[in-house]
Amino acid sequence: MVDADLHVPTSWAHYFKTSERLRHSRCDDYSNGLEEQLHETLAAIEKGEAFDEDRLAKLDRLPRNRMKKYYRLRIHLRGKASSAVHLDPESTCFHLSEFESVRGKLPSEAWWVEQQLAEGAKYSELADSLCISENALKMRVHRWREAVRNPTG
């Protein structure tokens, strides 16, 4: 527990709060996202980055975004698995070759956008950096995800 009499920097208080949430969570996609949030928090602390409202909001979006990423990847891989290979629907493990296969189907810009979204970036921020509207970006993301899921169209 954090002692109320001690001044704890915002960064470490956030790390403690997240670690407590992880300690009381189940072992699932969301907890994997919480672990990545802890990793990103430590990386920001090591770099000495400020923990303002924007940083905290980005870190707080991470677990949910990563949970959705792991879910989509598991569904995609389950559809690609042969009858001889059984994938546990709750498993977040996958083969590197399958990961590279998904990555190879996306153009470099699409891969970059997917990485930024997985890290908690907002569509509006990415759209501004790409000089397109937010709705156009959402449509592009939808189309390339659909192309990866169903390559025959």
pLDDT in tens, 20-45: 888 887 777 888 888 888 889 999 99
Task: Please report the pLDDT score of residue 98 as a whole number.
Answer: 66
Model confidence over 70-129: pLDDT tens digits?
888 877 777 665 444 444 544 545 555 666 777 778 888 888 888 888 878 888 888 998
Q: Which amino acid is at 119?
A: E
The pLDDT of residue 93: 52
> pTM higher than 0.75 for the full model?
no
Q: 65 to each of 8, 50, 81, 86, how far by Cα in Å?
A: 28, 22, 24, 26
**CA angle (27 as vertex; 87, 32 as ends), nearest 5:** 85
Q: How many CB atoms lie within 10 A of CB 53?
A: 7
